[in-house]
Chain A
Amino acid sequence: MASEATATVGGASAPPLAAPKRGRLRLSTSESGLKAAHFNNTGFAVALLLPQLLVLLFFFFIPSYKALSLAFVQVDPFGGRTIFVGLDNFTRLIASPEYRESAWITLWLTLAQNVITIGLALLFAFATDFVSRGRGIYKLVILVPYAIAPVISGVLWAFLFNPAVGPLAQMLHSFGVPWDPNRRPFDAQLLIVVASVWKHICYDYIFLVAALLAVPNSLLEASRLDGARPIRRFFTISLPLAAPTAFFLIVMNFTYGLFETFGIVDAITKGGPAGATNTLVYKVYQDGFVQLNLGSSAAQSVILMIVAILFTILQFRGIERKVNYQV
């Protein structure tokens, strides 16, 4: 899923990257380039598409079909007995205060994670140009978390902030902070947000650095001549030009927050305490794979799928219009 989306991004952020080299004169030729990409030989095109379609078939369409078919039944885990229950699984979920609580928690955690990640990544990306010594180390420190598996980083966070043995927790205690993510829901939520931001910041950072580098130097120089200071230049020139990338990152951060913080939650809090970090996707896993309540789990994943689809449509429709892709 992620790799596919990354590829699309390449497409989305390509124009601003390519723009400075080509200039306006070449715009008309890009049309013919599009036509050259058209295959006359349908068989060849199909052959090229086939692997991708097969991947989609096995990892998207078949699982989606399975989820849909399970969402309307009660089934024993072994697949022996199946009772059709209509919308029972859904109405039960919507009536359940725990499920609604989980939805709110997911929304807030994802929003917080999204805003903080992109904010910090922008700051770091902006600052990259001003780091004159050890820029390599600066980038390395930001990029390293991406190479660490979520579960391993989760275990490390859980240990560092464990109130009984964690060194960072001890430090907080010595400042008089009653830190205890095992008992205080807010502490647990904070820990999840911090861990998922730390894990994801480099992703946003790479894209934003690239987007800022692609800002035409001529524009920056012109504004410098006009007397604009770095921060002014950033907000009036760099940021608007990096907007398409930022928009794409917002979508990606939501996907990350909704679906991929799963490993971190599992390693740090297991959804606790008292369900305070039980996000929707973690609940799907818990109910389906640990509790073997397949009907409810399938219904939850269908809801998640609908939410994800709606979300993406809304974002593209609402925000894309205001985002300027042209230089």
Chain B
Amino acid sequence: MITYIDKIGRLLTANIQYLIGVLLMVYLSIRATILDQHQGLRTIIGVVSAQIYFTGWQAIPLISVLALASGSITILQSSSELSLLGGSEMIGNLLVVIMVREIGPLLTALVVVARSGSAVATEVGNMRANREIEALESIGINPLSFIVFPRIIGGVISVICLCFYFVVIALIGGFFLTRIIDEMPLNFYLDSLVQALTVEDFFLFLIKTGFSGTIIFSISCYQGLAVKRSHHEVPQVTTKAVVDSIIVVTLFNMSVTVLFYLEQLMMLGGV
């Protein structure tokens, strides 16, 4: 029994230490960026835009395919089921719940973890092993403000934009794709969507995508910087960055959803 308690305690301590480490790195990178008098806005914008290009722009083909596929499948399935139940006008509500609130943010985050989180962890890890981080320090450039901060900002912007793109393509592109087999009028479909969208959806979307981006790029940079001196550590930290990012992002998305519906239930007097 004591062994189990001991194991749980160790696991908990290790995770808390990990979380504190990541949060401390984020705090220090913000602090370094504010305090760094030499790093101009131009330098930051340069790295941020490169990050947006790699994370956002280059992911568009993959996101397009996923959005079209998931959008058309969801529209097709829900419209046929709802017609059978006589609730076709509810299609907007169903799609907003599925696409805008849940699938869009989560699927986009998972794509970004796989494509860019792993790339950032590898890049930073290799920089550590090649002594590039040390080199930056030796010339008076703080790696936290030069490498970490712009990557987090670029990552957050990319995830928000990619997710918005995903939702638009899934809802609009998916609709046109389903018209091949299903004859739903466009006006009816758009009206249903517009009526279903609320301010809460907008905030939920921003919270989920914004924090997912922060989580992915903070963990990836943290793991990359955790490389000590050897190249053989790079694949290990990359795998850890991907696994940790997926777990934390999924748990985060799930928690936000639970809290959101709990609040809705409380407002309705259900809890």
A and B from one complex: no
Give the interface of B toward A (CB within 8 A). Answer: none
